[in-house]
Structures are given as structure tokens and as C-alpha cells.
Amino acid sequence: MCAQAQSVVRKTLEANVSDDSDISDCQRDVIAFLAGAGLVGPQARAVRRIDTHGAHVFIGAHDVYKIKRAVRYPYMDFSSLAKRRAACAREVEINVPHAPAVYKGLVAITREADGRLVLNGAGEPVEWAVHMARFAEEDVLVNRVARTALTVDEAKALADAVVASHGAAQVVVEPPERATIAAIAHNVLAALPGLFGGDDGDVLELTSELSRRIAVLAPLFAERARAGCVRRCHGDLHLGNVVFIGGAPTLFDALEFDEALATVDILYDFAFLLMDLDHRGHRAAANAVFNRYIWRRQEHTDLEGLAALPVFMALRAAIRAMVGAQRAASTHEGLAESRAYLTRARSYLADERPLLVVTGGLSGSGKSTLAAALAPMLGRAPGALHVRSDLERKALFGAGELERLPETAYGADVTARVYARLLAKSEAALRVGHSVVADAVHAHPSERAEMAALAQRAGALFVAFWLDAPRDVLLQRVGARKKDASDATPQVVERQMSYDLGELEWTRLDASGTPEETRCTAMSYLHASMGPR
């Protein structure tokens, strides 16, 4: 199936339609016209048509045209030409800012004086269509991750695209009642017993725990709305609605038919993407996207909002379970996958004590590499928050990740401020139950003591590593760095070698080998330290 069609098919409460039994007479001629191979030029291959519950999509060699079906559902009304025009116009309006290479505009299908149908003719419009550029199906994110994992740069670019989308989204301080998390969850949880059985243990447990969590978090949801965290978001931000064009991730097919359903907490919008990556076996990518998003936004509300992230991810998985079960009821296929989503939803609500892992060592020891490798493997989905001193220093100066800072940015007073940021962010996440991996040199005993004290205050399990490597290894690694947030040079390493580290009470790791060897050693210590969880 073409990527554009796949994205439509996955809409919430979707239901594929494959026959013409309920196509209204007013659209028959239009459908026949758009299905004509001549629409995209005489040399083009035949147009393919995909029908969904709310649209007819016509895919040519280079162009795609999508019309809204003349239907009326409780949640979607395209029953009049005026309503279909408004929906098409809205789809173009909300998608063009983030996908200008995909959306070409609104097109009128007119009937000319001689009775012919044409695009944007002089006659009276009889239908309206969204005109889109066709893109390669293999470039849609859901298809890319089926072949290979995202690279670090791709994960960062994906997070940056979501940050840009949320940054431009309209703030809604008083969202519609039916768009609240409680209302969304109520509708989903009410549907699950009929789909999986009223006495299904997974459903009963999920319903009970999700309802309890939402009630407990109600004050947080309200506070986040007052703080501007509820916005007119994409609304359907899963892997099938992201395509790489020219190597850059592009968000498309934002939810257009119901403003309320798309007016949600930005972390709930983001949670769909994280859940989708995680469920498909890409926890490392989900963690990388998550950490980039948190760092780029630099908003304390995001850290406080981590208390709600398990609920948001569980609800997204529960919706997928519901939609899949609805399909399975008519097609008798896919129930196992729906059950897997149900299990996934429950797993996101499992309680566990947060963990603070700290990696320290001189520049070039590999502490940041180890921290990034450990983060996806620790704590609740999508893995631990990775707080890195190099990035916090850049954020302190409003600099980009790879922007080199002046020497004055490395004075003792600035470094103290960087460590204060590191501690504050770590504590904010730990306080709401989210595990943290904090990485910095930690050369001074006081810096190491503050991390241990933080873990105790927050009630977190604490594991700290000091990474050792010979001088020549440190110098070689630092000299070979490219595209890294650290500004350390070989001269900095030489200066650090003279530090009086004091008594090192942390677990010392030989980090002279490969990153994978260091990670395996660290995980062995972690398993031994944490015991059964």
C-alpha cells in the first residue's frame, strides 16, 4: 500500500472500505475521473485507488489526490460539499507548514459546460481534493525502521522536527472536555471489554490501573494546561505519518477532521511516536528521540510532565489495541497484534523504583558514550533521561550542540552552574519516578558526593562509575572526535591528568577497550547492584 494511503488507514477508529456499495451518486463521476490513468499524463502508469472510512485516495506516478468521502459518522461529518471543502482546506492548512514538499494545495474538481470534469476548471465545483506530491514508500518511517534502526543523526532530526511542530502549535489554555486525557481514556476503556471480553484479565487490570493513575494525575494535567502544554498538535504522530524527504524527517497527515481530538498535551502527542518506536523493537531510537526532545526544549514542565508519560504511552498503546481489535472483529485477522498492544499498555504502568546512574571520568574516557548506551536499558519506557554536562553547558549559553564555546565558558563559576543544572534536572526527573543517567567529569569529591546525596533524597537506587583509560587512549579519542558536543581538546586532557581526584569511592571501569566492552562490563555491575527488580 502507498505511504499516503497507509497513513490514512491508521487513523483512530479507522475501518477499511473496499467496495462501492455506499458511495453517494454525487461522487461516482468524480471517483471515475480521478481513477483515470490520463490524470497524471499519458506516460504515467495507471492510478491506484485506496478507500478508507473517510477518504478516497488516488495515487499516480507523481501526484496524489485525496477526496473526503460523502459520509457522516458520530466523530466525522463529510456529508455536504461545503463540509468536504472545509476539511480539505483544513488538511492543507495544518500540514503545509511542516510538509511543504508534500502538500501542493486545495484543488477544485469542476464540471465544465460540455459536461467534462476537470481540475480547477472554469465550471462549478462538484468536489474538492487535497493535492499531494507522491513520495517513495520506503522513505516512510514505519517502513524504514522495519529494515534498519535509525541512526543517531536521524533520531536527533526526528526529535527536532517534533520540537518545531510543538513550538509552532497554538496554545489552548482551556481544552474541550472531550479532548482531555480522562475523556479519551474513558472512551477507550469502555470499548475494550466488548472487544476482548468483559472478564479479560489484561483489560481489567489495564482499566483499573489507568483509571487510578489518571485520577491521581488530574491536578498535573490541569497545571500543564494552564502552563501552555496543551496545544493544537499533529494529533496522529505515529511512524506512518513521518516521511524522510531529502534526508530530513517530515511530519504529514496531521489530524484534520476534529480540532478537539488534536488539541492535546504535547507530551501525549509525542508519546504516540515514542510508543510506536518502542513497540516495534526500537527502544534505543525512542530513547534518543526522547532525550533530544527534552534537551532541545529546555522546559522544566517537560521534566515534571514525565510523571504522566507512562499514562500517555499506555493510552496510546491501548488505542492501538482497540483499533486493531475492531479490525480483527471484521477481518478475523490481527487479534494477536492487538493483544500485544494491550500487554504493552499494561507494561508502561508497571511500578519500579527509579535509578540514578552516574558516569564520570576524564575527557575521552567514554563516559558520554556509555551513558547514551545505558539510558535505553534503564527505567521505564522509553528509558532513562540522559543529562549530559556538555549539553547543559551549551544550553546555558544558548548555543547549539556543535557550537564551540569560548574559553570563558569553562571557568569554575560557569562549571558550578552547569553542575547545578545537572543536579536540578536529575532531581526533577527522579522525583516523578523517572530514571536518570547523569554524565560529567565529576573530578571533585564534592561533585560526586552531591550525586550520592541526590539519590538518597529522591529515594533512587544509586550506581556510579568512574571510567579509566590510559593517557594515550584519552588523547587519541579526543583528537579524533567529530560532531560531538564536547569542546575538550588534547590540551584539556593533559590539564585534567594533573587533577587531584581525591578518594574515588565509585566503581572503576577499565574503559580502554571498545564501547561495547565497556557497556557490557557496566551492565554486569548494574545487574549485580540492583538485584531482582
- Residue 366 near residue 515, CB atoms below 8 Å: yes
> Considering all CA atoms of the chain, what is the largest pairwise distance in Å, rounded to the nearest integer?
92
Spatial separation of the C-alpha atoms in residues 83 and 100, rounded to whole Å: 24
Q: Which pLDDT band, with edges at 50, 70 and 90, does 45 fall under? A: low
> Is pLDDT of 49 > 50?
yes
What pLDDT, on the 0 to 100 scale, is given for residue 39?
52
Average pLDDT score over residue span 494-516: 94
Strand ranges in 260-384 using DSSP code E only, listed in sequence order:
263-265, 355-361
Exposure of 95 by Cβ count < 10 A (0-12 exposed, 13-18 middle, 19+ buried)? buried
> Is pLDDT of 466 > 90?
yes
Average pLDDT score over residue span 366-374: 97
What pLDDT, on the 0 to 100 scale, is given for residue 532?
55
What pLDDT, on the 0 to 100 scale, is given for residue 11?
42
H helix and E strand count, the chain: 20, 17
Going across the sheet that includes 461-468, the strands are 385-388, 436-439, 355-361, 461-468, 507-510
pLDDT digits (tens, 9 = 90+) for 55-92: 899 988 889 999 999 988 777 889 999 999 999 999 99
- Residue 452 near residue 462, CB atoms below 8 Å: yes
Residue linked to cell 459518522: 73
| 386 CB-near residues (< 8 Å, 6+ apart) | 287, 291, 371, 372, 375, 436, 437, 439
pLDDT digits (tens, 9 = 90+) for 220-267: 999 999 999 999 999 999 999 999 999 999 999 999 988 888 999 999
What pLDDT, on the 0 to 100 scale, is given for residue 1?
35
Spatial separation of the C-alpha atoms in residues 364 and 526, rounded to whole Å: 22
First vs last C-alpha separation in the chain: 43
**Residue 508 cell numbers, joined:** 572503576
Q: Which pLDDT band, with edges at 50, 70 and 90, does 9 fall under? A: very low
pLDDT digits (tens, 9 = 90+) for 288-313: 999 999 999 999 999 999 999 999 99
Number of Cβ within a 10 Å radius of residue 342: 25
Residues 512, 513, 519, 520, CA torsion sign:
negative
What pLDDT, on the 0 to 100 scale, is given for residue 5?
39
What pLDDT, on the 0 to 100 scale, is given for residue 329?
74
Q: Which pLDDT band, with edges at 50, 70 and 90, does 405 fall under? A: very high
Average pLDDT score over residue span 105-121: 93
Helix (H/G/I), strand (E/B), else coil: 64: strand
Average pLDDT over the chain reads: 90
> Is pLDDT of 52 > 70?
yes
Average pLDDT score over residue span 362-372: 97
Domains of the chain, CATH where assigned: 3-135 (no CATH), 141-348 (3.90.1200.10), 355-530 (3.40.50.300)
Q: Which pLDDT band, with edges at 50, 70 and 90, does 324 fall under? A: confident
What pLDDT, on the 0 to 100 scale, is given for residue 24?
58
Q: What percent of the chain has pLDDT over 70?
A: 92
> Is pLDDT of 184 > 70?
yes
> Is pLDDT of 339 > 70?
yes
Average pLDDT score over residue span 329-345: 85
Instruction: Give the dihedral of Cα atoms 378, 381, 383, 387; nearest 10 deg.
Output: -130
Spatial separation of the C-alpha atoms in residues 73 and 81, rounded to whole Å: 16
Distant-in-sequence contacts of 149-153, Cβ < 8 A, 24+ apart: 149/282, 149/284, 149/285, 150/282, 150/285, 150/288, 152/288
| 348 CB-near residues (< 8 Å, 6+ apart) | 275, 310, 311, 313, 314, 317, 380, 381
| 230 CB-near residues (< 8 Å, 6+ apart) | 171, 172, 173, 175, 224, 263, 264, 265, 266
Number of Cβ within a 10 Å radius of residue 479: 11
Distances (CA, A) of 301 to 211, 305, 321, 399, 421: 23, 6, 29, 21, 15
Q: Which pLDDT band, with edges at 50, 70 and 90, does 328 fall under? A: confident
249: preceding bond cis by omega (within 30 degrees): no
Spatial separation of the C-alpha atoms in residues 9 and 142, rounded to whole Å: 13
Least confident among 15-19, 262-266, 377-381: 15-19
